A and B are shown apart, each in its own frame.
Chain A
Amino acid sequence: MKVRINGREEIIDEEMTILSLLNSKGINPSMVVVEYNYEIPDKEKWDSILINGGDNIEIIKFIGGG
């Protein structure tokens, strides 16, 4: 199914959660926050939110240097 990830359309498998999406991309979940359809869900919900076709996902890294 088609979703939008960081502004780009991508095809991902059905039945994916936010957590499995991060895992499939090799992204360490402790290094990012995720905006899901313009809301920022709590991290504890990442493995229970099922991604639907057309969803908008932003994966934003923790950046704190100066």
Chain B
Amino acid sequence: MIDESDLLRYSRQILLKDVGYEGQEKLLNSRVLVAGTGGLGSPVLYYLAAAGVGTLGIVDFDVVNMSNLHRQILHFTDDVGKNKVDSAEEKLKKLNLGINVIKHAVRLNENNIENIVGQYDVVIAAVDNFSTRYLISDCCYLMNKPLVEGAVLGFEGILMTIIPNKSPCYRCLYPIPPEPGKVPTCNDVGIIGMVAGTIGSLQALEAIKVILGIGKTLSGRILTFDGLNLNFRTIDWKRKSNCPLCGKNQVKK
């Protein structure tokens, strides 16, 4: 049952025929894990909390740094030095007290990830490094969890929605991690906040589409975004028959 104040809070999205009362109940009963509370994770968490996703898991081991603030919109100047999960929770609770926030103030690794991912229906990768992206992607595939994978750098972004055994997986695109140090990070070449906002908003949108089973998700397509020249493209792609993760002779376990 959705109470009266929640009916008002969510009224404009309940009005949508693709959401409706039943869809809103689904959102309130859903559990989404957001790995990273930075440039991508901030808008993802904000929109999912606002939309009434009932349980949000947030993973981040880091503390808020002054150099985060131009893009990580859940964190304010006063939060510098605080744990990011605490700073994020504070804002999300101010926005919507009706949702549960579960904090995981840890660095994801091979030993803890299954236990964390296992508690959620959908996972959103909003982290800042490749090794964690591969860890999340492999774990989600093996645990059969839909994954919304987004990444940004400079003025560019990339987005894909991965449905295990249905769509191509992260390793179908990037079979092995890039050589360490070869591919620049946001710390090396910078990142413009609005691009993280754009890709993060789209990750949140993909997540609720997956939860509600509406529309056409990006699964089977890759979205690339060039913010400097304002160009969105979607590229069709297929599973890689010799993918090390989801291919016939998978080597990953």
Contacts and interface: CB of A to CB of B under 8 A. Distances in A.
A66 B128 contact: yes
Interface residues of B, number: 40
Contacts of A60: 158, 173, 222, 224, 235
Interface string B161-183: 00000000000111100110011
A64 B173 contact: no
Contacts of B233: 6-7
Nearest to A6: B233
A45 B236 CA distance: 21
Contact of B179 (A30, A35, A39): A30
B238 interface: yes
Most buried by A among B125, B183, B186: B183
A35 B153 contact: no
A30 B182 contact: yes
In the complex, which range does the number of interface residues on chain A fall in?
10 to 19
B126 interface: yes
A61 interface: yes
A62 B40 contact: no
A63 B154 CA distance: 9
B156 interface: yes
Interface in B141-162: 150-153, 156-158
B182 A66 contact: no
Interface string A53-66: 00000101111111
A45 to B, nearest CB: 11
A42 B39 CA distance: 32
B235 A35 contact: yes
A66 B36 contact: yes
Interface in A1-20: 6-7
Interface in B195-236: 196, 222, 224, 233, 235-236
Most buried by A among B39, B179, B235, B242: B235
Given A64-B133, A65-B152, A40 B158 contact: no
B38 A66 contact: yes
Nearest to A31: B183
A7 B191 CA distance: 25
Report, nearest first, the 6 A-B pairs whose CB atoms are least far apart: A65-B186, A66-B128, A65-B153, A66-B40, A63-B151, A64-B130
27 contacts: A6-B233, A30-B182, A30-B183, A31-B178, A31-B183, A33-B174, A39-B238, A39-B240, A40-B172, A40-B173, A42-B175, A58-B235, A60-B173, A61-B158, A62-B174, A62-B178, A63-B156, A63-B157, A64-B178, A64-B183, A64-B185, A65-B151, A65-B153, A65-B191, A66-B39, A66-B40, A66-B152
Given A64-B151, A65-B185, 8 more contacts: A6-B233, A30-B179, A30-B182, A33-B174, A40-B240, A66-B41, A66-B126, A66-B150
